[in-house]
Amino acid sequence: MTERERNIRRRLKSDLAHYAGRCLWIRTKADGLAPMVLNRAQTYLHGCLEDQRRTTGCVRALVLKGRQQGCSTYVAARFFWKVTHRRGARALVMAHEMEASRGLLDMARRFYEHCPEAVRPVCGKDNAREIDFPALDSGYRVATAGARGAGRSQTVQFLHGSEVAFWRDAAEHAAGMLQTVPDAPGTEVILESTANGMGDFFHCEWQRAEAGESPFRPVFIPWFWQEEYRREPGPDFAPTPDECEYMRLHGLDVAQVAWRRNKIAELRDPELFRREYPATAAEAFSFTGIDPFIAPEAVMLARKACAEPCGPVVCGVDPARFGADATGVMFRQGRRAFGARRLVRRDTMQVAGECVRILEGGEPYVVRMFVDAGGLGAGVVDRLREMGFGQRITAVNFGSAASRPDRYANRRAEMWALMRDWLLEPTQADIPDDDALHADLVAPSYSYDSSGRLILESKDDMRGRGLRSPDLADALALTFALPVRGLHARQEFAEGGGMRRGDGFGPRSR
């Protein structure tokens, strides 16, 4: 080969987007066969996976997306590219049903048939289950989730799980499949799916990934990134107030909203549209028939807001109670909440140590820290008091009586109600643009007792629905435990640590 030819081959081997547009052909929705040019969703997914590969040396990704956005096609192309450019590389593709498995293998076969001869390896086996490249000792194999023993006896470097939320016995089956991929540099596991409700394997794994508790990286693809999801509105088309709000939240135009309205009419169910074509990750898993206490729209508005901080900084800490929970930490300064963090697998002394670092940090200066004193929190409070921080911490018991016992069943329900009111006030609240916090805020449902008092869904009941503990949202709710006067935080304390102008808490403002 000439030097020019070698440079061309090097780029085709190292740049998937470049290779796909020149060597791979796909069947499009409207135009028959065409070169594979990555769309916006595929380009974003490619960037996320490449970033993880560069950072960790391997890829472990969960992809949550809407219908027909090209994610399965992208992963099929990625793995075909890898097994045809490496020696000893094996890819296994697992779909939820036989027809889908065959469709993914047909896609790989189409890649091969239309691939330029210069970069097309010699094909050996080519049957209903696999394509083999003997000169490279590489291959591409498909199986169907739920089939007895599917893929279990193999060792593969690349595993693609398609529509995992619809796998039969997904947790057991996925556990076996994941063992086929060694924990080694260069290996990749990509599990992608549309949502199928709460509590299943895919949803539980998404929650873990979103919370940073697993090696998998969560990647969400919103429906409106698809260029073809548009419909030219008629002359009489006018967005409803709800549609105008939806447009504002997600930066959509009228043609996209017209397409959305038409698709909802086809599906005959707005909730089904949210599952099949989600705009946010939390929305994708909202297909439950249960009303959240805090509306997702209010949370999205707060994620997009930009409020100026005003007044003293307070901090809420919700220590983990059980092994599966994490300690949630949130800060708030007037209309702005910030600094969301989850502390995973920390004992009492470690959580207390993190609280000390916050209290001694100085920037931002925390005038008051509210700590849930139930379970692990009691030991945290005791340790902080022992270390001399008693004047700056307040122990809060979620299960204790509310200050308005005629309206709220307990303190937790009261604080969540105050937090919801804060989110709904005309002067827009500002919260971190964070999917994990969003999911926590919209997770709990609610009811009323025989006296008309608000009951917030308990953490145990949420676990029964397959939801994690809303640690970050509980931490934010704790910042509403007591009113805070708008005095400069540093003026609250005399030199040496004592209060000089009262305790900084009173009825004036939150």
Reported confidence tier of residue 326, pLDDT bands at 50, 70, 90 = confident
Q: For residue range 56-108, what is the model confidence (pLDDT) as tens digits?
A: 999 999 999 999 899 999 999 999 999 999 999 999 998 888 888 889 999 99
* Contact criterion met (CB below 8 Å) for 349 and 382: no
Rg, the chain, Cα only: 26
Q: In what order do the strands lie in the sheet with 138-144?
A: 130-133, 138-144, 90-95, 158-162, 188-193, 59-65, 217-221
In this prediction, residues 7-21 reach a mean pLDDT of: 92
Q: What is the pLDDT of residue 363?
A: 74
Class of domain 3-221: alpha beta
> What percent of the chain clears pLDDT 90, i.e. is strictly above it?
62
CA distance 139 to 123: 9
Query: CATH topology of 3-221 equal to that of 296-479?
Result: no
Closest by Cα among 433, 493, 488 to 310? 488
pTM of the full predicted structure?
0.80
Local structure of 232: helix, strand or coil = coil
Q: pLDDT by residue (tens digit) across 473-502?
A: 999 999 999 987 643 444 344 334 443 333
DSSP-derived pairing of the beta strands 454-456 and 90-95: unpaired
The pLDDT of residue 305 is above 60: yes
pLDDT at res. 257: 96
Q: Where are the alpha helices (DSSP H) in 241-333?
A: 241-250, 254-267, 270-276, 281-284, 296-304
Res. 15: pLDDT tops 60: yes
What percent of the chain is modeled with pLDDT above 70?
Answer: 92
pLDDT tens column, 279-290? 998 888 875 557
Q: Which fold has domain 296-479?
A: Nucleotidyltransferase; domain 5 (3.30.420)
pLDDT tens for 363-389 read 789 999 999 998 789 999 999 999 999
pLDDT at 196 (0 to 100): 87
Residue 322 reports pLDDT greater than 70: no
* pLDDT tens digits along 53-69: 999 999 999 999 999 89
What is the per-residue DSSP string for 80-106? HHHHTSSTT-EEEEEESSHHHHHHHHH
Backbone angles phi, psi at 24, to 5 degrees: -110, 140
Residue 454 has pLDDT above 80, yes or no: yes
For the chain, domain boundaries: 3-221, 296-479
